[in-house]
Chain A
Amino acid sequence: MKGSRIRMVVATGMSALVLSACGASTGASPVSHQTANVAYAGSLQLLNEGTIGPAFAKTSGYGYLGRGAGSFGLAKEIVAGEISPNVFESIGAAPIAELEPSKTSWYVSFAASPIVVAYNPHTSYAPTLKKISQGKLPISRLFGLLDAKGFLLGRTNPNTDPQGQAFYEMVELAVRRMHLPSSLVTGILGALDNPAEVFSETSLEARLEAGQLDAASAFQSQAIQLHLPYIALPAAINFGNPRLAKDYASARLTLTDGAVVHGVPLLVDATVLGHYDARAADAFVRYQLESLGRRAFIHAGYTVFKPIFVGADVPRSVRNAD
């Protein structure tokens, strides 16, 4: 009897050890009903958690579980098996490419999230920024202002964040398209990971709202959802038009690790991963392509367009969305 007790204790201990050593999966498991377990780019947080997630759960009857973070970071976590969502939504397809071919072979683009320059309405530069946003001053004035000494500009890290990459490339494109002095690029941006203006995605908009920055890079959707005034940029430089993909690609950026990236349209791309709860996952993607989902995206400041499917083996239920 004593021996069996010891065995019991040892067995309990060992199973705990094995569980913890394996890093027990945190993903939802299909028990009684299916759940769309969605990992999405941090900028989709307000939309997904506030509108689409709850509405999807209500109308479809499937469960919804979401988590937002940087797209590249999420892709890395998925590859490492740290998280196992069944839907992945990123800004730009590059993070999805990291999951191909083992996790998925397709994605759908259906909305765009143009880059804007959001500004704080109470700092000393605000009146000029407002005039630019209203078209009373030319947009080229913006870039002179961003370069001004003492102007506090915030952006995110291009090494880890697609928005950080796009903002950097946007300045590069703007200087070229508007025939501004090329010294403006380094004047405005400095080093890739410039400590004076690079902040975590988490803190950037908070800093702007707190009045600790004059202006910051933002997606148009973020600016609208956070009620921040912003300067819309021409389509030629805002990475929001899928038809200008070729033009955007002329902007290039060398990351700290030596990798070279080219400009891509900032599209919301979604794909289904893995094999569990596939019906719920398909339904979630389909929901966004149909009228209710589209309306939510438009309301949140995205531009939506006819879905573009890329890759092979798109589930029929997703492809047939109207």
Chain B
Amino acid sequence: MQTNVHPSIRPATWASWLAVASTIVIWLVLVGPLITLVLKVSPSEIVTALRQPGALSPLGVSVGSALIALLILVLLGTPLAYTLARSPRRGVRWLEAGMLLMLLMPPLVIGLLLVFMLGPLTPLGGLLAHVHLSATNTFFALIVAEVYEAAPYYVLGAQSTFVGLDQGMLDQASLLGDTPRQRFFRISLPLSLPQLTSSLAIAWARAIGAFGAVIIIAYHPYGLPMQVWTTLNEVGLQRALPYALVLLVVSLPFPLLAFFWSRRARR
């Protein structure tokens, strides 16, 4: 960019240096805990932690429950997000407000409210019992907690993706005789897939790291975050941190892949 300002003042340079500096600072601040974690935990400590009897089961519990939670989100959250994005009806704004409220709710509060809603002695809890499910200290309860913690992130992300679709292209498809359903599967979904995957990656991170609602309704079975918490309380930080690193290693590949794929698809 050309400027007529005297070269010794160079405001653009100052501004860009400031931008670089603040970027570095905020990045370091945000990533600092991660650097600390990697510096504090040696590979041998991870091996020791994972060799404890039963230490691998939280890993399986976390991955299994988070995958099922994601499946539920894709099947139920995608249609909801599409409706939120594309339906002109007024009532839909209420649905959107509901999602936003859930996003604002601290996970711990969600957990407490789930106790009131799904506990064994509530009507819904009774219905669950009929199909031999319980939302108290079970694998099912863990999935429920994870869905609650992750859903707003996926639905709102997917919604904004659908909002950004090229309206002209959709109109053309209608003119050519496509039904709404055909439009969704032929145009909306394929075009949105990279961004949807990004939203799903965020939801995955939220689900596998879910703790606030989990500690209330699913103290058992231990997933990785609960394992970190109880190990911290039983034997201390040094033995708890390796699990945090395992959590990171397990949950990271999917978001990274999604990130790179959506970057490539956008080019």
CA gap between A212 and B116 in the complex, in Å: 8
Binding stretch for chain A, among B148-156, B184-192, B215-223: B215-223
Q: Are A206 and B28 in contact (CB under 8 A)?
A: no
Which one of A9, A77, A206 lies within 8 Å of B115 (CB-CB)?
A206
**With an 8 A cutoff between CB atoms, is B230 at the interface?**
yes
Q: Are A12 and B29 in contact (CB under 8 A)?
A: no
Min Cβ gap A150→B in Å is 10
Q: Are A203 and B25 in contact (CB under 8 A)?
A: no
CB-CB < 8 A to B182: which residues of A?
none
Which one of A17, A70, A82, A212 lies within 8 Å of B119 (CB-CB)?
A212
**With an 8 A cutoff between CB atoms, is B255 at the interface?**
no
- Which single residue of chain A is at the shortest CB-CB distance from B230? A160
CB-CB < 8 A to A13: which residues of B?
21, 24-25, 28
Which one of B35, B39, B136, B236 lies within 8 Å of A79 (CB-CB)?
B236
Listed residue (A76, A79, A152, A202) with the most chain B CB atoms within 10 angstroms of its CB:
A76
Q: Mark B2-32, 1 if CB is under 8 A from A, else 0.
A: 0000000000000001001100110011011
CB-CB < 8 A to B32: which residues of A?
16-17, 19-21
Min Cβ gap B45→A in Å is 14
Q: Mark A55-88, 1 if CB is under 8 A from B, else 0.
A: 0000000000000001011001101101000000
- Which single residue of chain B is at the shortest CB-CB distance from A70? B233
CA gap between A207 and B120 in the complex, in Å: 10
Min Cβ gap B21→A in Å is 5
Given contacts A9-B21, A23-B36, A73-B232, contact A212 B120 (CB under 8 A): yes
- Which single residue of chain A is at the shortest CB-CB distance from B234? A159
Q: Are A17 and B234 in contact (CB under 8 A)?
A: no
CA gap between A16 and B138 in the complex, in Å: 42
CA gap between A123 and B121 in the complex, in Å: 9
Q: Are B35 and A12 in contact (CB under 8 A)?
A: no
Which one of B20, B125, B220, B237 lies within 8 Å of A195 (CB-CB)?
B220
In chain A between 78 and 113, which residues have their CB closer than 8 angstroms to a CB of chain B?
A: 79-80, 82
Q: Are A82 and B237 in contact (CB under 8 A)?
A: yes
Min Cβ gap A87→B in Å is 20
Given contacts A20-B29, A196-B137, contact A203 B115 (CB under 8 A): yes
Subset of 14 A-B contacts with CB under 8 Å: A12-B24, A16-B25, A19-B32, A21-B39, A77-B237, A123-B121, A157-B219, A160-B230, A195-B138, A203-B215, A206-B112, A212-B120, A212-B121, A257-B235
CA gap between A100 and B108 in the complex, in Å: 34
Q: Mark A11-33, 1 if CB is under 8 A from B, else 0.
A: 01100110111110000000000
**With an 8 A cutoff between CB atoms, is B91 at the interface?**
no
Known: A76-B235, A200-B215. 9 other contacts (CB 8 A): A13-B28, A20-B35, A21-B35, A21-B36, A72-B233, A123-B121, A195-B219, A198-B219, A212-B115
CB-CB < 8 A to B28: which residues of A?
13, 16-17, 20
**With an 8 A cutoff between CB atoms, is B238 at the interface?**
yes
Given contacts A9-B17, A16-B28, A21-B32, contact A76 B136 (CB under 8 A): no
Q: Are A73 and B36 in contact (CB under 8 A)?
A: no
**With an 8 A cutoff between CB atoms, is A210 at the interface?**
yes
CB-CB < 8 A to B17: which residues of A?
5, 9
In chain B between 214 and 263, which residues have their CB closer than 8 angstroms to a CB of chain A?
A: 215-217, 219-221, 230, 232-238
- Which single residue of chain A is at the shortest CB-CB distance from B31? A20
- Which single residue of chain B is at the shortest CB-CB distance from A71? B233
